[in-house]
A and B are shown apart, each in its own frame.
Chain A
Amino acid sequence: MSERQRTNSSMTDLTRLSADQAARAIAAGETSSVELTQALLDRIEAVDGDIHAFLHVDADGALAAARASDEQRATGSASYLSGVPIAVKDVFTTIGQPTTCGSKILEGWIPPYDATVVAKLRAAGLPILGKTNMDEFAMGSSTEHSAYGPTRNPWDLTRVPGGSGGGSAAAVAAFETPLALGTDTGGSIRQPGAVTGTVGVKPTYGGVSRYGLVAMASSLDQAGPVTRTVLDAALLHEIVAGHDPMDSTSIDAPVPAVVAAARRADVKGLKIGLVRELQGEGFQAGVQARFDEAVGLLTDAGAEVIEVSCPNFVHGIAAYYLVMPSEASSNLARFDAMRYGLRVGPEGVEDPSAEQVMAASRDAGFGDEVKRRIILGTYALSSGYYDAYYGSAQKVRTLIARDFAAAFEQVDLLASPTSPVTAWPLGDRSDDPLAMYLADVATIPANLAGVPGLSLPVGLADDDQMPVGLQFLAPATADDRLYNAAAALEGLLEDRWGGPLLAQAPALEGVAR
């Protein structure tokens, strides 16, 4: 029996429910948080040996939170998503659960404090199933740079799930959890979303607190939702967003009305700009075809679609691979083997100095890509090269922000394919850093400028039957526009497909055994 038939024939498969459906089922007394949480833990047990989306599963903690949610609901004071489980990327600190960032340097570290977003999840009653795999310190586009082994794409176990948040996206796509939290520095939420057929949102920079998010590039990092539906993403967005006194870069303004926008789902009269520089050459034919088709649906539904030019986007990758490593080389200096994390002594040195221990520990604890970016950043920031590299990259950042500003004078939203290609086979790009970097061409401009972006699935590519994502981009703090347009397009597409795209994904139980 295919997964799809099983879903249709059985009302008891709780793992297939969206977060919104699960919340309503719990509220109606049709199921409980404990029952739902146990079903998801069973699913993880059954399929995660193949997927490897999780680095750590906290069954006891999740079930305890589920029981607490069920008890609270009995008193009538539970929040809307209370009792609906979530998985959290291993980049967020969690009291009582390890936080490794996919790195050996933090192996076994249990943080003494919660990230603000994690505290918000707990306060809203969402059981935390565990921590998801990621490229080491979020540096990568395939999750192959995790020190704990790669995650596999639920659509095809021989392919990557994207990165850096491949664990969160794969967990959601494999029905191990309806919700996950990710971070997006150059596309790490949106690109894995695109290549796994899931929804991923990078909110406006400053929209969600970064406190307790282990920093890669502080002026680019942003946390956001990873889900199977646009409405679920909005519901999660509303929980985690908002001003945080612990993060001086968090915006002190009301959270955009994202849930209302997702429920509105109407593109009539909306002006949408297609970015000329983010399509055509370099984009896989099967990706471009699904994108064009989705644009056609938007037009049919009453959106006004025009082409816009953002000429400086072509320099986005170059600017990003200077700004990001520069900030990362500074941020990762905190891993000095003194207060927490791995400490090893240099070989053959008696009574080594702190500096020697530091250098030996950082060599032993960091993987190749992390070292590459630290060295690159150190170079870009060094005296004599600073103006030519880091300084020039910052000017390109201004030009890209100006391109966005000019475009948003003409249109309400921009759209492009999220990723130029579908998921590639494991190992295909892991030895070629530049090829890996090019996967982020369409997602990087939003991070450089700080504007929000959302990726949603728009079908399977004809060339390889792998998922394709479409990305909407909106002006800063207008995140609600993303949800409105994406929910509308999702509805139009699901009408055509006769249900969610993920219903077409292969069954997973025991596939690779």
Chain B
Amino acid sequence: MSSGITRADVEHLAGLARIELSAAELDRLAADLPAILDHVAVVQEAAGDDVPAMSHPLPVDNVFRADEVRSSLTPDEALSGAPESEQQRFLVPKILGEE
């Protein structure tokens, strides 16, 4: 598979990743990414279909702990890094679009 990644593709990906890139940043990434993708594309030829995928070095099992009351962050601690807060809640910009 060739990595014909275009400036429009980069703009779309930036939208998916929620990063508002400037025109200059889009130009630069559109120039960088094809070379990187060409380099990493060798993985497509390296392994046959019979090779299983490895997502993690260890067998990942779900881990349960006892359901008991423990101390945790106070509301003030939890909100200590918040850009804005109100009435012990995180204050965020509007999350719904124009009606």
Shortest Cβ distance from residue A336 to the other chain B in the assembled complex, whole angstroms:
7
A-B contacts counted at CB < 8 A amount to: 186
B40 near A322 with CB under 8 A, answer yes
B53 near A398 with CB under 8 A, answer yes
B65 near A245 with CB under 8 A, answer yes
B44 near A392 with CB under 8 A, answer yes
Q: How far is the CA of A376 from the CA of B84 in the complex (A)?
A: 32
Query: Which residues from 335 to 362 on chain A have a C-beta closer than 8 Å to any C-beta of chain B?
Result: 336-343, 345-346, 351-360, 362
Q: A395-B47, A395-B51 are in contact. Are A359 and B19 (CB under 8 A)?
A: yes
Shortest Cβ distance from residue B59 to the other chain A in the assembled complex, whole angstroms:
10
Q: How far is the CA of A419 from the CA of B51 in the complex (A)?
A: 29
B81 near A109 with CB under 8 A, answer yes
B80 near A112 with CB under 8 A, answer yes
B57 near A352 with CB under 8 A, answer no
Q: Main SS of chain B's interface residues?
A: loop
Mark contacts of A304-347 with chain B using CB atoms, 8 A cut-off: 1 yes-contact digit, 0 otherwise.
00000000100101110110000001000100111111110110
Q: A378-B16, A382-B16, A391-B53 are in contact. Are A341 and B81 (CB under 8 A)?
A: yes
Whether, in the assembled complex, B69 has its beta carbon less than 8 Å from a beta carbon of chain A, the answer is: no
B13 near A395 with CB under 8 A, answer no
Whether, in the assembled complex, A91 has its beta carbon less than 8 Å from a beta carbon of chain B, the answer is: no
Nearest CB in chain A to that of B77: its residue: A112
Q: Main SS of chain A's interface residues?
A: helix
Chain B residues within an 8 Å CB radius of A353: 93-97
A376 near B18 with CB under 8 A, answer no
Nearest CB in chain B to that of A438: its residue: B39
Q: Which one of B28, B39, B60, B77 contacts A249 once the chains associate, using CB atoms below 8 Å?
A: B60
Mark contacts of B10-51 with chain A using CB atoms, 8 A cut-off: 1 yes-contact digit, 0 otherwise.
100111111111100100110011011101111110110001
B81 near A112 with CB under 8 A, answer yes
Q: A338-B90, A371-B19 are in contact. Are A395 and B46 (CB under 8 A)?
A: yes
Q: Which one of B25, B57, B63 contacts A449 once the chains associate, using CB atoms below 8 Å?
A: B57
Q: Which residues of A contact B (CB under 8 A)?
A: 109-113, 205-206, 219, 245, 248-249, 251, 312, 315, 317-319, 321-322, 329, 333, 336-343, 345-346, 351-360, 362-363, 366, 368, 371-372, 374-376, 378-379, 382, 385, 388-389, 391-399, 401, 433-434, 437, 448-450, 476
Could you jot down 9 A-B contacts, CB within 8 Å? Answer: A111-B81, A112-B73, A321-B36, A359-B19, A371-B21, A379-B13, A395-B51, A398-B52, A433-B32
